[in-house]
Amino acid sequence: MDLENELRQAMAERVTDVSASRTLAHEARRRHHRTVRRRTAVAMTAAGLVVAVAAIPTYQSFRPQTVGADGPESRHHGHHSAGSPTPSLSPSPQGGRPTPPAAGRPGSHSPGSPTQHPASPRGHESILPKALLGYLPPGIDPAKTCNTQHVGSRETTTCRWTGSTGWIEVRLVRDRGLSGPADMGFAPPMARNDLVHGHPALRGDAPAMPRQIMWIERSGLGVWVGVSPGLSDRLMRVADGVHA
């Protein structure tokens, strides 16, 4: 026991003058913090790599395949396309030359093909507007009868309305050669000048003839309007309401 005490006393005397520097504790703490930060950064980097590697298969499974892409879908599609049979000529029953596909009869068409309609030979439509007259006097039936005549390059469409109070007739003359109302050929012998829709017109009020008025609505289109004697006072109102 005395030897042990002597050793302890000798060691205590040996380190009595030895002391730790003031910065030793600060350096130890700084190195410890740096080691912790380094280990944390390494752990976060490793975790990010693991997440990225795990996300690659999911991205591949959700990525859309474009037409022509060299993927499973495109290879599958190309396999079916390459394996589709091509139409071939069937051999004739007698073993001779192959028989071409049967063509349809003239004028017939296959169920899947659209029907071709011939184009109209004329450059304009001869169908009248639905509301040719904007004004109908009382007693005139809205229903009308129309007919169209062709003489050379001239087309004349005549529509007539009738009723208990009389009749109304409208003629539409289509002709490129029309330059004035008189060119339509309907002008009465004693006609006087008037205006309809701002266009020069010829008006006939002869007692022995129906009240009438005619004008050129636009280039190539002339309009003639006539009414029965009982509607003579409504002639201009009917003419102003014409939609040609």
Structure tokens at 158: 């005549």
Mean pLDDT for 65-88 is: 47
Residue 42 confidence (pLDDT):
86
Whether 29 and 101 share a structural domain = no
Phi first, then psi, for residue 170 (nearest 5°) are -125, 130
Distance, in Å, from the CA atom of 174 to the CA atom of 45, rounded to the nearest integer, reads 88
**So what's the pLDDT on residue 82?**
43
Instruction: Assign 1 a pLDDT band (cuts: 50, 70, 90).
Output: low
85-125 confidence digits (pLDDT tens): 444 444 444 444 554 444 444 444 444 444 444 443 333 33
Q: pTM to 2 decimals?
A: 0.48
What is the average pLDDT across 186-191?
A: 85
Q: Which has more confidence, 33 or 70?
A: 33
* pLDDT exceeds cutoff 90 at 5: no
- Together in a domain, 120 and 228: yes
Q: Does pLDDT of 200 surpass 60?
A: yes
Query: Taking 50 as the threshold, does the pLDDT of residue 184 lie above it?
Result: yes
Question: Across residues 223-230, what is the average pLDDT?
Answer: 94
What pLDDT digit, counting tens, does each position of 155-169 carry? 999 999 999 999 999
- The confidence score (pLDDT) of residue 153 equals 94
The answer to whether the CB of 242 falls within 8 A of the CB of 181 is: no
Do 87 and 137 fall within a single domain? yes
Question: What value does the mean pLDDT of the chain take?
Answer: 75
Work out the percent of the chain whose per-residue pLDDT is above 70. 66
Whether residue 120 sits in one domain with residue 187: yes
Domain extent at residue 45? 23-64
Would residue 155 count as lying in a domain? yes
What is the band of 60 on the pLDDT scale with cuts at 50, 70, 90?
low
Is residue 89 assigned to a domain?
Answer: yes
19 vs 32: which has the higher pLDDT? 32
SS (H, E, C) the chain: CHHHHHHHHHHHHHCCCCCCCCCHHHHHHHHHHHHHHHHHHHHHHHHHHHHHHHHHHHHHHHCCCCCCCCCHHHHHHHHHHHHCCCCCCECCCCCCCCECCCCCCCCCCCCCCCCCCCCCCCCCCCCCCCCCECCCCCCECCCCEEEEEEECCEEEEEEEEEECCEEEEEEEEECCCCCCHHHHCCCCCCEEEEEECCEEEEEECCCCCCEEEEEEEECCEEEEEEECHHHHHHHHHHHHCECC
Tell me how many domains the chain contains: 2
Whether residue 140 sits in one domain with residue 45? no
Residue closest to 73 by CA, chosen among 55, 60, 59: 60
Shared domain check, 32 and 73: no
Question: Do residue 130 and residue 223 come from a single domain?
Answer: yes
